[in-house]
Amino acid sequence: MSTLRTGLFSFFLLITGLASAQDSTLLLSNVVVTATQSAQQQKESGRNIVSINGAAFNALPVQSVDDLLRYLPGIEVQQRGPQGAQADITIRGGTFQQVLVIIDGMKLNDPLTGHFNLYIPIHPADIERVEILKGAAAAVWGSEAVGGVVNIISKTFAGKKYSNEFRGRLVAGEFGLLNTDLYGRLTKSQNSISGGLFSNNSNGQVLRGTKGFFNLHTANLSFTRQLAANWRLSIRTAADFRKFNAQNFYTSFTSDTANEKVNSAWIQAALQKKYLKGQLQIDAVYKKLRDQYWFRPAAVPNDNRAGFYASQVYFTGQIDAQNGFTVGAQNSLKFIKSNDRGEHSLWHGAVYGILRHHPGKKWYINESLRLDWDESYGWVLVPQLNMALNLDKFTVRGSAGKSFRDADFTERFNNYNKSLVTSGRIGNPGLKAEKAWNVEMGLDYNFSSRFRISTGVFYRDHQDLIDWANTAYADMPRKDNLVPSGSYALAKNVEYIHTSGLELDIMYNEKTGPHSQLLAMMGLTWLKSVNDDPVPSLYISSHARFLLNYSIAWTIKRFGFSMTGLYKERAEQLSTPLNAKLSPSFFLMNLKAGWQFIPVKARIFLQADNLFNSAYSDLLGAQMPGRWLSGGIEIAL
C-alpha cells in the first residue's frame, strides 16, 4: 500500500500545485464527442465519456494502444502479454466481449474472439482522439456495446485539415527490446495521404520454461480527398502481423508452452456529403484474420481463418435550433473456416433512429431506438434514453437503456471440430444472446474550463450472460469427442447477474504557461457483481472490485515528465499445478522523462515500466513482466 500512497500523493501534488494556473487554452467544458453519431459537447450527451487526444500516446510512458487505454479513468485492461501482444478491455465489470471497439464509425470487434479486439489497425500518430463511452450504447452502435464503447477517430477520417508531418521513434531496452515506428502525412490542395509502420519486438523475460517474446508489426496507408459539391472520400488499408508467447493465455495446464501467430488485413472506406443542415455518411469495411495457435511447438496448430464484411449508411440532420436527428441502416456478414471450430457464417442487419432535443437553455435529451436481426438470435428491439441538466458549473445526467450481445465463434464452436478433446474449453452452439437493462445517474462539476470531476452510480441487470463455467462430463450437452475423465469448461448462459458500481473521474488539462502544459487524469471505480452460483464463472470472477488508475504528463520548456499507474483489488485465484496466483491486489507505476535537444525536432527519453518490479498477473497463469528499462529517441518534423 505504500507504493499506492506514493502514486496518489504524486498525482494530487501536481494537481493542487497547478490548479490556480491561468491562460487555459484546453477547455474541458467544450470537449466534442460523437456518442450519438453526431458531434455535440460532452455536457449535452447525458453520458460519462472520457476523451483524450491521440498526442497523449507520445507524452505518456506507454508502448501500445492497450497500454494507453489501461491508464484512462475507470478502464480496466487485462493484459495477457506486454506492449500489445494481447489484452482484454472491460468497462463497468462487463466481460471483454461486452466492450465495442469502433474505428471511424465502423465496428472492429473480431467474430472469432474478443481477445483480438485491441489489435488496432492505425498508427498511433494518426489517432485524432479516443473517446471512451462508459455504459450501454447498443441502441446507437449495436451488439457488444454493453459495458461501454471505445471510439477511435483518426485524422484521416476526422474531416479536418492537418499540416504536413513526419515523425519517427526508436526504442531499445532490456531483454532485447527494439521498437520502431515511422509516420508521415502529406497534404496538398484537396488531397491528404498518410502512412505509418509500428513495430514492437523483444526476446522477452523468462517465464515458466519459456520466454515471453513478442514480434508485433502494424502498417497502414490512408488517403482522403475533398471532392466537388461538399463530398469527401476517405480510404484506409492496413496489415497487422503478430507472433508472441501465449503460455497460459487460455489454459492452466502445466504442459502449456504455447505461442500464437495472428495476421490480419483491414480495408475501410467512407464517403461523406455535407448539406446546409445535415450530413450523409456511407461506410464500408472488410476484415480478414488468420489465427494460428500452437499449444506446444510440436503440436498441430489450431488454424482459424475468420473475418467480416460490413456497411452502413446514415443521415444526421438538424430540424431546428432545438431538435436534431440521425437515421441509419447497417448490414454485415461474419465468417470462419477452422480446423478447430468448423466452417460457419452469419448475416446481420439493423435499422436505427436517434432524436436529439434541447428544450430550453438547461435541458438536453437524446433518445435512440434500434431494431436488429441476426441469423442466430432473430429480432431484438433496443431503446435508450439519455438526459442532461446543465446548472452553471454542474451537469446532472441520467441514462437508461437495453443492451445485448451474441456469442462469438469461439464461444459457440471451440474444440467442436476436433476428433478427440481430453480437457479444455468447449463451445456451445445452443447459446442464446445476452440481454441487459442498464441505468445510471451522474454529476459533473467543472471547477473551471480546465478542471472537471465526474461521479456517478450505475446498475446492470444481465440475463443469459455468456461465460465459461466448469462442467462435469455428465452435464455436457454434446459428448461426441469428449472423454468421461476429462476436465471441461463449457460456454454457458448464466441465468442472471446484477452489477452495481460507483465511479469517480478527475480530468485536468491546462496550458500552464507559454512553454508548459499539464495533462492529468485519475479514475476510481468500485464494483459488485452478484448471482446465485456459489462458484462464479471465469470472467465475472476476474474483473476488479476496486480500480484506481491515473496518467500525468507535464511539459516544461524542453523537459517532459510523465507517469502512469494503477491499483487493483479483485478476487484471489490459485493454480496449484502451475504454482500460480492471482493476487488479491497489486500496484503498478511507470515513469518516463525526456529532453528535447533540438527545438520541435528531436527528443531523447528514458522509461521505466513496472518501476517497483511488482510480480503480478491480470489473468491466472499469464505472468506479466517485472521492471523493464528502456530508452530512445523521437524525431518530429
Q: Which domain holds residue 630?
A: 2-636
User: DSSP character for 623?
Assistant: B
Q: Pick the residue with more confidence: 5 or 438?
A: 438
For residue 15, pLDDT over 60 is answered with: no
Write out the H or E segment, with its range, that includes residue 43. helix 42-45
Question: In this predicted structure, what is the pLDDT of residue 169?
Answer: 95
What pLDDT is attached to residue 517?
86
What the block records as the C-alpha cell of 99 is 466492450
User: pLDDT, tens digit, for every residue of 554-592?
Assistant: 989 889 999 999 999 998 888 877 888 889 999 999 999
Residue % of the chain over a pLDDT of 70:
93
Residue 367 Cα to chain centre, angstroms: 25
Residue 446 and residue 151 in contact, taking contact as beta carbons nearer than 8 Å: no
Strand partners, 307: 288, 335
Grid cell in block for residue 628: 523493464
Alpha-carbon span 375 to 270, nearest angstrom: 27
**Inter-residue contact 182 to 168 (CB < 8 Å):** yes
Q: What are 224-270's pLDDT values in tens digits?
A: 999 998 999 999 999 999 999 999 998 888 899 999 999 999 999 99
Q: Are 192 and 185 in contact (CB under 8 A)?
A: yes
pLDDT in tens, 75-112: 999 999 999 999 999 999 888 899 999 999 999 999 99
> 250 — phi, psi (to 5°)?
-125, -10
Q: Any idea which residue has 488485413 for its cell?
A: 265
Could you list the beta-strand ranges (E) of 321-393. Answer: 323-338, 342-357, 363-374, 378-391
Other CB atoms within 10 Å distance of the CB of residue 79: 24
Q: Give the CATH number of the domain where residue 516 resides.
A: 2.40.170.20
Tell me if 77 sits within 8 A of 62, measured CB to CB.
no
pLDDT tens by residue, 18-45: 443 333 334 454 555 565 667 778 888 8
List b or e across 246-256, with b for residues whose CB sees 16 or more CB atoms inside 10 angstroms.
bbbbbbbbeeb
Q: Which of 467, 521, 524, 455 is nearest to 495 (CA)?
A: 467
| Residue in 458, 488, 462, 459 with CA at minimum distance from that of residue 473 | 488
Alpha-carbon distance of 234 to 192, in angstroms, equals: 9
Q: How many domains does the chain have?
A: 1
Instruction: List C-alpha distances in Å: 398 to 31, 161, 395, 457, 585.
Output: 19, 35, 10, 10, 32
Dist CA 264 CA 307 (whole Å): 9
> What contacts 85, CB < 8 A, 6 or more positions away?
79, 212, 214, 216, 242, 244, 245
Q: Which residue has the cell 487460455?
A: 250
DSSP bridge partners of 150: 101, 132
Distance CA 45, CA 190 (A): 33
Contact 239, 267 (CB under 8 A): no
Beta carbons of 312 and 286 less than 8 angstroms apart:
no
Query: In the predicted model, what is the mean pLDDT of residues 478-492?
Result: 92
Determine the 3-state secondary structure of 412 from DSSP: helix
* Residue 401 in grid coordinates: 437503456
Count how many Cα atoms sit within 13 Å of the Cα of residue 1 in the half-sphere of its side chain: 2
Chain segment 147-171, per-residue pLDDT in tens: 999 999 999 898 888 889 999 999 9
In 3D space, the residue among 243, 413, 289, 412 whose CA is nearest the CA of residue 339 turns out to be 413
